[in-house]
């Protein structure tokens, strides 16, 4: 699949642009003091999103690139929850009283390792400290292998209305190669329990580019997933970075597909899902026609955040837990990544901010351009610049990368309006990179 184009634009090496600037630009210059001031400046009449990182799993998945801790015991989770409650109180003391919340997401790790009663108590605390809307989207990531009936009941009682299930692949050969053996029956049972208790909005996470994966196994995984009719599916490409993630060194690199094979796998999965009635949302999400993501895309209000694509209209996110990233009015903040350092800061009654980034006007303009490209595959650069009170000349005055993309037929450019051609949408990250002031890496 267009091997020369793939090789030229080095797409696998580019950021996913869930945020801009990316975490690589974060600095310790922005710390707890800055975060405290930024929290205090949050408008009392604007809703925010809350993200909670729960960094615990029962076993290690070799492909995983997230901050997590493996534990077979419950005591570390209980200790973490005690610290998390303190962080909620600390943040709650800084923000305007009962700040409105319209979106809550529990990620991980495996948030559903939290005991049912503890999860209920955590949600009660949130509702005391924040004005969580009765219509708020409350989502939890789930590992079907450890999911129980009691947990399903607790999620429903706590107001959870969306569940995101990690699936990755239904191919047993691939599962063994990534140390995540998960039967189709386990996934089906989790879906059934959730729906029986009223948690009817279901997401699946799938991955292509895994060891021993083939186009055929990718299609079979997508077909099996479709039979359970989740509302959304996210189809991510595996990022193999063993120099940063030691657990990935357990994967045999000789069994990984090359770039053309990965592209074929992604296309095959996309075609399978679209044929089953799902609409493609951005680069890697798929949703049923009546899902919020589909409606947001139609209305031109699809958003891009650290979790991927979203219909969430909030411009501010407060992150809780180790490694969690927040997006406040003035910039980005990230908590201590290591759980011990995070706990030490919170137990000392200090915010756990380890680093962050203060946004300039130019950063905001570039972020808006990149977001529209990633969401809509097109962008009116002059219009965005004018909206921000910024002259478009700096963005169109250094056109080397953009001109090369146009010359290769990747994009169409006319008076500052840029559109990614349908057949080259898989290279949208390379187009977005043309507006990344910090990338600096030359084309291959």
Three-class SS state of 352 = coil
Average pLDDT on 200-212 reads 97
12 confidence band (pLDDT: 50, 70, 90) = low
Kindly state whether residue 1 falls inside one of the protein's structural domains: no
pLDDT digits (tens, 9 = 90+) for 104-150: 999 999 999 999 999 999 999 999 999 999 999 999 999 999 999 99
Q: What percent of the chain is predicted at pLDDT more than 70?
A: 95
Instruction: State the distance between the two ends of the chain, measured CA to CA, in whole angstroms.
Output: 18
- Please report, for the domain that includes residue 50, its CATH number: 3.80.30.20
313 lies in a domain?
yes
Specify the pLDDT at position 1.
46
Alpha-carbon span 305 to 144, nearest angstrom: 25
219 occurs within a structural domain: yes
* pLDDT, mean of residues 401-414: 91
pLDDT for 401:
84
In order of 183, 201, 244, 364, the CA distances from 21 in angstroms are 39, 31, 20, 9
Q: Say which residues have a Cβ less than 8 Å from residue 315's Cβ, sequence separation at least 6.
A: 46, 327, 329
Name the domain boundary from 293, 320, 347.
Answer: 320
Q: Last residue of a domain, which of 320, 344, 370?
A: 320
pLDDT of residue 204: 98
User: Do 373 and 309 reside in the same domain of the chain?
Assistant: no
pLDDT of residue 243: 85
Residue 335 included in any domain? no
152 domain-assigned: yes
On the question of pLDDT at 205 being above 90, the answer is yes
| Residue 440 reports pLDDT greater than 70 | no
Tell whether the model's pLDDT for residue 398 goes beyond 60: no
Domain CATH code at residue 425: 1.10.10.920
For residue range 288-323, list pLDDT tens digits in order.
999 999 999 999 999 998 888 999 888 899 999 999
Phi/psi at 238 (5° precision): -65, 130
The token pair at 233 is 């599916």
* pLDDT tens by residue, 56-99: 999 999 999 887 889 999 999 999 999 999 999 999 999 988 89
Q: Same domain for 291 and 149? A: yes
Residue 259 is predicted with a pLDDT of 85
Same domain assignment for residues 236 and 160: yes
Q: Are residues 155 and 244 in the same domain?
A: yes
Q: Does residue 6 lie in a domain region? A: no
**348-385 pLDDT, tens digit each:** 999 999 999 999 999 999 999 999 999 999 999 999 99
- Cβ contact 188:163 at 8 Å: no
Domain enclosing residue 194, as ranges: 22-320
In a domain, 187, yes or no: yes
Report how far residue 140's alpha carbon sits from residue 223's, in angstroms, rounded to the nearest whole number. 24
**Do 151 and 289 have their domain in common?**
yes
* Residue ranges with strand state E in 321-380: 325-327, 331-335, 353-358, 378-380
* Residue of higher predicted confidence among 243 and 33: 33
Q: Using 50, 70 and 90 to split pLDDT, how confident is the model at 334?
A: very high
Q: 2 falls in which pLDDT band (50, 70, 90)?
A: low
Q: How many CA atoms lie within 13 A of 98 on its CB side?
A: 4
Mark whether 373 and 306 lie in a shared domain: no
CA distance 301 to 376: 9
Q: Which domain-ending residue is among 320, 337, 369?
A: 320
Give me the pLDDT at residue 442, please: 43
Copy the structure tokens of residue 82: 């005690």
Is residue 61 domain-shared with residue 163, that is, in the same domain?
yes
Task: Kindly report, residue by residue over 226-242, the tens digit of the pLDDT.
Answer: 999 999 999 999 989 89
* Residue 307 and residue 381 in one domain: no
Q: Which two tokens stand for residue 39?
A: 């929290």
Is residue 337 within a helix (H) or strand (E), and if so which, with residue range? none
**Which string of b and e fits 304-337 if b means at least 16 CB within 10 Å?**
bbbbbbbbbebebbbbbbbbbbbbbebbbbbbbb
Beta bridge partners of 202: 163
Domain co-membership, 63 together with 207: yes
What's the token pair of residue 317? 């996110």
Do 76 and 55 meet the contact criterion of CB atoms below 8 Å apart? Answer: no
pLDDT > 90 fraction of the chain, expressed in percent and rounded? 84
Please tell me the predicted confidence (pLDDT) of residue 11.
60
In terms of domains, do 309 and 402 share one?
no
Domain count, the chain: 2
d(CA 324, CA 26): 13
- Given pLDDT bands bounded at 50, 70 and 90, which one contains residue 393? confident
Residues near 71 by Cβ (< 8 Å), separated by ≥ 6? 56, 57, 58, 77
Which pLDDT band holds residue 256 (cuts at 50, 70, 90)?
very high
**Whether 179 and 277 share a structural domain:** yes
pLDDT bracket for residue 443 (50, 70, 90)? very low
Q: Is the model's pLDDT at 441 over the cut of 60? A: no
**Residue 38 and residue 170 in one domain:** yes
Average pLDDT over residues 328-339: 96
pLDDT of residue 403: 87
Per-residue tokens: 173:
């050969």
* Residues 270-281: tens digit of each pLDDT: 999 999 999 999
Does pLDDT of 444 surpass 50?
Answer: no
Domain contains 331: no
pLDDT averaged over every residue in the chain: 93
Question: Token pair for residue 207?
Answer: 């991955």
The answer on pLDDT for 187 being more than 90 is yes
């Amino acid at each position: 699949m267009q091997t020369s184009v793939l090789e030229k634009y080095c797409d696998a090496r580019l950021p996913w642009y869930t945020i801009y600037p990316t975490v690589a630009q974060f600095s310790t210059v922005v710390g707890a003091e800055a975060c405290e001031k930024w929290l205090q400046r949050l408008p009392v009449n604007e809703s925010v999103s809350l993200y909670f990182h729960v960094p615990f799993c029962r076993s290690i998945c070799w492909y995983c690139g997230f901050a997590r801790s493996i534990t077979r015991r419950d005591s570390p989770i209980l200790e973490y929850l005690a610290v998390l409650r303190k962080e909620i109180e600390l943040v709650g003391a800084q923000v305007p009283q009962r700040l409105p919340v319209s979106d809550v997401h529990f990620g991980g790790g495996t948030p559903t390792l939290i005991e049912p009663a503890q999860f209920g108590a955590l949600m009660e605390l949130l509702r005391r400290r924040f004005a969580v809307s009765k219509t708020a989207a409350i989502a939890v990531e789930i590992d079907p292998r450890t999911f129980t009936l009691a947990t399903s009941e607790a999620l429903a009682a706590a107001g959870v209305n969306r569940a995101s299930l990690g699936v990755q692949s239904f191919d047993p050969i691939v599962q063994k190669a990534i140390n995540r053996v998960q039967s189709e029956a386990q996934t089906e049972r989790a879906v059934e329990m959730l729906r029986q208790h009223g948690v009817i909005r279901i997401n699946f996470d799938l991955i292509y580019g895994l060891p021993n994966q083939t186009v055929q196994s990718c299609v079979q995984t997508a077909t099996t997933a479709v039979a359970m009719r989740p509302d959304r599916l996210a189809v991510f490409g595996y990022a193999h970075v063993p120099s940063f993630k030691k657990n990935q060194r357990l994967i045999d690199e000789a069994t990984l597909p090359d770039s053309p094979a990965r592209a074929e796998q992604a296309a095959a999965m996309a075609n399978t899902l679209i044929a089953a009635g799902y609409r493609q949302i951005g680069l890697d999400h798929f949703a049923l026609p009546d899902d919020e993501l589909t409606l947001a895309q139609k209305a031109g209000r699809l958003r891009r955040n650290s979790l991927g694509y979203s219909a969430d209209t909030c411009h501010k996110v407060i992150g809780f837990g180790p490694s969690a990233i927040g997006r406040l009015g003035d910039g980005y903040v990230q908590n201590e990544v290591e759980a011990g350092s995070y706990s030490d800061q919170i137990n000392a009654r200090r915010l756990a901010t380890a680093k962050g980034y203060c946004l300039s006007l130019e950063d905001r303009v570039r972020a808006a351009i990149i977001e529209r490209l990633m969401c809509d595959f097109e962008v009116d650069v002059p219009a965005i610049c004018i909206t921000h009170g910024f002259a478009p000349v700096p963005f169109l005055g250094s056109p080397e990368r953009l001109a090369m993309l146009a010359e290769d037929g990747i994009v169409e450019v006319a008076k500052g309006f840029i559109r990614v051609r349908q057949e080259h949408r898989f290279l949208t990250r390379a187009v977005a990179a043309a507006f990344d002031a910090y990338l600096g890496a030359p084309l291959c």
